Amino acid sequence: MEDWEKILITLLCLLLLNYSYPKLLDHWKDVPDLYLQEQSVIGTTRKANESAIYTSNKLFTGLRGGLEIRYDHYKIRTGNLRDIWEIFVNQAKKAPEPKLIRINGETIEAGILNAMAKKLGSSIEKSTSGGALEKVYIPSHDLFSNVDSLVVLIGCFITQIPVHIGADNAQSNENDDVYYYDSSARKVGPIVIENINTPDYVFENVYNIKYDQGIPLKISNRSGHIASEISFTQANFASAVASSLKHLPESHSITKDDSLFIYHEAGSEVNDIVKMLTSFISFCDLEISTEHLETSISKASIVSIAESKFLATELGQKKTTSSFRLNRSLNYFSKGIFAPIIKSENKPRIIVISRKIGSKMLIGPAELNQYRSLLGCRIIVEQTYPNVAGPLLLTDFYDYRVIPTRNINGYGCLSQSLEIKLVNDDKNVNSNYNGTYGQVLVRGYNIGKMAKYAIGLPKRPSNQIDIANEGFMPLGIKGKWGSDGCLYV
């Protein structure tokens, strides 16, 4: 073959590669570019000085109201905590091996938990038959501290006894009828938490509309002489759990083969309870801990942890030194292709990192891609708000974009339970306002009611739904809509 022929063939190969390589990259992308460019459904109209109303694009229409449980052959209802527990117990009954739940190093079998929770709930009900019990109080430092705390939580949930979680200094001086959970004495009020050795896989759940009502959970905090109290309804939990389950793509959904590790800390009570309930429906293995358990974290397929706590773990301290393999991997990520340099099976497949909305971002988008590459896992960032069950904003499962973070503390698409609009700070109508920035207002099914009060004085609503503003609640933070449908705060 002549030299000129070799050169011609080489040039033709280069031209072919130059043409085909971009096509291959498009083919290798996890999702089309358009998927990440339209992460919200935008309302067709808006008021003066307001943005349009944005909702999640993961629904055909509206919001995720609940679990959509079918009854009476054709009727649909949102579901409640008893329904979630029934689903879990029925799955545990059919499982080939006992389902174990681990709480702070202690282990309990699902059938034993069901038996102890039913017994405790029944005993509390009988002890108060002569009068109404307002609530069972669980100190926040005792929540998920041991198996007993889970027995108390589930026992109250399935018998509709309100649970109140708060720090010791959050207790008010009101004359409430309250049973206090004493972890050292293993008692709830006068009721002793009894050990049961025989599993019970029966949970009768004949539907009654009363089970959809009531306030199953209150969370309180206190600063000086001012206390706050947040109340969550059955519907709040049903909507939040459904939204959490449906955020993941179907091919990556949580299944019975997964193991979920929740690193619990003060301030994350309601969101960790939502994740716990999500595990009950998906029937994955569950471990909740208030301590660093590196072995458990590394063995879990799904890890839920606060951003600051993640950085303190071995996973969060992975070396990020530059290398050819890492740079090539990051280049693929920037093009929308999940291409980690590690593919070990002994690792989490999903890490959910949470932080409070508006708080300082500790891990930026570029660093997240480094973790994705070095750990070989998907990472979702959730942003939470005190009286919203589940996340308010969260990043998409397939979102690896490296977005400039100057002047923002976070971004994400909307929870499927919520809709959001922005309101211009300027009270005067501004004809030039384009509806892309302003104060964040939210409305939806997973929003609890907050009240603030001075100790010893009546409670008053705070940060509440504004009837004049069509039921939207102001968050007290500013945001901006991106052209991708994400909210930047």
**What is the structure's pLDDT at 466?**
54
Q: Which residue has the tokens 């959910």?
A: 352
pLDDT higher for 89 or 346? 89
pTM comes to 0.91
In this prediction, residue 317 has a pLDDT band, given cuts at 50, 70 and 90, of: confident
All structural domains of the chain with their residue ranges? 40-63+417-452+461-489, 64-413+453-460
Express each pLDDT in 230-266 by its tens digit: 999 999 999 999 999 999 999 999 999 999 999 999 9
Q: Over 50: is that where the pLDDT of 477 sits? A: yes
Segment among 239-243, 450-454, 456-460, 464-468 with least mean pLDDT: 464-468
Residue-wise pLDDT for 190-227, tens only, equals 999 999 999 999 999 999 999 999 999 999 988 778 88
**d(C-alpha 329, C-alpha 484), whole Å:** 24
- Going by pLDDT thresholds of 50, 70 and 90, the confidence category of residue 174 is very low
Identical fold for domains 40-63+417-452+461-489 and 64-413+453-460, yes or no, is no
CA distance 384 to 386: 7
pLDDT at 17 over 70: no
Between residues 315 and 19, the one the model is more confident about:
315
How far is it, in rounded angstroms, from Cα 373 to Cα 334? 12
Q: Check: CATH 3.40.50.12780 for 64-413+453-460? A: yes
Confidence of residue 423 (pLDDT cuts 50, 70, 90): very high
- Among the listed ranges 109-113, 133-137, 481-485, which one has the minimum average pLDDT value? 133-137
Residues of 317-348 as b/e, b for ≥16 C-beta within 10 angstroms? eeeeeeeeebeebbebbeebbbbbbeeeeebb
CB 417 within 8 A of CB 239: yes
Helix (H) or strand (E) holding 168: none
Average pLDDT value for residue range 149-174: 83
pLDDT of residue 470: 82
Cα 53 to Cα 43: distance, rounded to the nearest angstrom: 5
Mean pLDDT, the chain, rounded, equals 89
Of residues 337 and 342, more confidence is placed in 337
pLDDT computed for residue 464 by the predictor: 53
User: Band of the pLDDT at 47, cuts 50, 70, 90?
Assistant: confident
Q: Look up the CATH number of domain 40-63+417-452+461-489.
A: 2.30.38.10
pLDDT surpassing 60 at residue 463:
no
DSSP per-residue string spanning 325-352: HHHHHHHHHHTT----S---SSS-SEEE
Q: Look at residue 408 in the predicted model and tell me its pLDDT.
A: 92
φ, ψ for residue 302 (rounded to 5)? Answer: -135, 130
